[in-house]
A and B are shown apart, each in its own frame.
Chain A
């Protein structure tokens, strides 16, 4: 009885180690193919368009509404301490350091992580990945490396847009609804903002982009068992990417902002 329990715990632990190791190997192989020829600029461009350009609407809407609600919450909460004037700083710091990268990451994980897993999963179960190997093409290089590179490049650019639109959303609510003076609000926004706040937010974004592309590719590439397997891979890609984004958000914040 006791032995069974120990065995079960051991099995779970071993399974977790194996999965983590397999993911790490997959990541290393994928990244190594980014640097070794042949290169597939067309594939990178296609993945970049899918991840960056076509994610713009959803990220833009998310950022604007987040900025709006932040301004509203900040001014009503800060008014209890008679500190409404700090609203602008609170909005811009929250958006650039935290909410821009995280919310853009989560939205793109839902959009692109799922699509990547479904596409690669279908290619796997219909032998298209095997077919690539028989046509002098390394599947990891052709399918995975361009997506990883595109993820690292696209997310920071999306987050630049999200930062600007998030602040704009805050500005709109602050001036139109809460009675802030426009130029003063903008001055207050820039007053306490440091370059590091933005750049470290963008570094986070690059990491999140990598995580999204990696989890989508990994789950799709290793999917098994027909339509159901592809469905499971898609779910796992979104869930695991989302959880990893939040976990790495904490780790990176601790590294960057706590001194």
Chain B
């Protein structure tokens, strides 16, 4: 892959719900094989950004390119094919509670590659072991698992089809700090092993620095800062500083009333 073409290139992406502008002209490049962390407060439009790229929400305007191909200009079938190369870890896992764990993990394989159920099951066990779970977990239902285990299963489901691109929506939210670090470690391992390009959104600074190569901050629908993830805590940008250090005083005023 030519390194000069970004894996994901977003230009002028805008989306409003009613008169509430959520994304306001976002420009973002993610280079192949790197990890981008997008930080920002609750309601800053982080999830909407990912959902626009995933095709779950239709943006009002802007371009989204994957491997240099204009996603929104393609016919529906080709769009679906491109998007099939994206794995997504949802914030609360979004595991299918009507299916056992192994079928959750193998869902994308069964849907796409038409593999036999026996083969899919073997593959599920393999992927579960990659996230540190025993094959016997495969027979449980998602409701029987703890929060940390659910996150692992959701991660296994996201990586099962070995996607080129991985999205993580607040991977550590709702986990204790140790489990958060464990999940981050698994994410980094998986991304490295697959050689995938990753985009994670989070407001957990420790997690952001563990996962990300580069970081960007979203504020009121605009990207106000981009830089190396290692510089997050010393960016020199007052808004980023306020956010990463969790200060009450600063350029960002919390809107308590809408």
Contacts and interface: CB of A to CB of B under 8 A. Distances in A.
A238 B161 CA distance: 39
Interface residues of B, number: 24
Number of chain A interface residues as a range: 10 to 19
B111 A130 contact: no
Contacts of A131: 88, 90, 94-96
A5 interface: no
Interface stretch (B78-86, B214-222, B236-244): B78-86
Nearest to A135: B108
B92 interface: yes
A134 to B, nearest CB: 4
B54 interface: yes
A137 B84 CA distance: 9
A134 B87 contact: yes
Nearest to B86: A134
A27 B92 CA distance: 30
Interface string B46-69: 000001001110000000000000
Nearest to A130: B56
B91 A136 contact: no
B194 to A, nearest CB: 16
How would you classify the secondary structure of chain A's contact residues: helix, strand, loop or mixed? helix
Contacts of B225: none
Interface string A12-50: 000000000000000000000000001000000000000
Given A126-B94, A127-B94, A134 B111 contact: no
B157 interface: yes
B92 A137 contact: no
A222 interface: no
B112 interface: yes
Nearest to A46: B98
A134 B91 contact: no
Given A133-B55, A134-B88, A136-B112, A128 B107 contact: no
Interface in A128-170: 128, 130-137
A127 B92 contact: yes
A134 B54 contact: yes
A136 B77 CA distance: 11
A127 B87 contact: no
Interface in B111-137: 111-112
8 smallest A-B Cβ distances: which pairs? Answer: A127-B94, A131-B94, A135-B108, A134-B88, A136-B112, A136-B111, A137-B111, A127-B90
25 contacts: A126-B94, A127-B90, A127-B91, A127-B94, A128-B94, A130-B51, A130-B90, A131-B88, A131-B90, A131-B94, A131-B95, A132-B96, A133-B54, A133-B83, A134-B56, A134-B83, A134-B87, A134-B88, A135-B107, A135-B111, A135-B157, A135-B161, A136-B80, A136-B111, A137-B107
Interface of A: 38, 119, 123, 126-128, 130-137
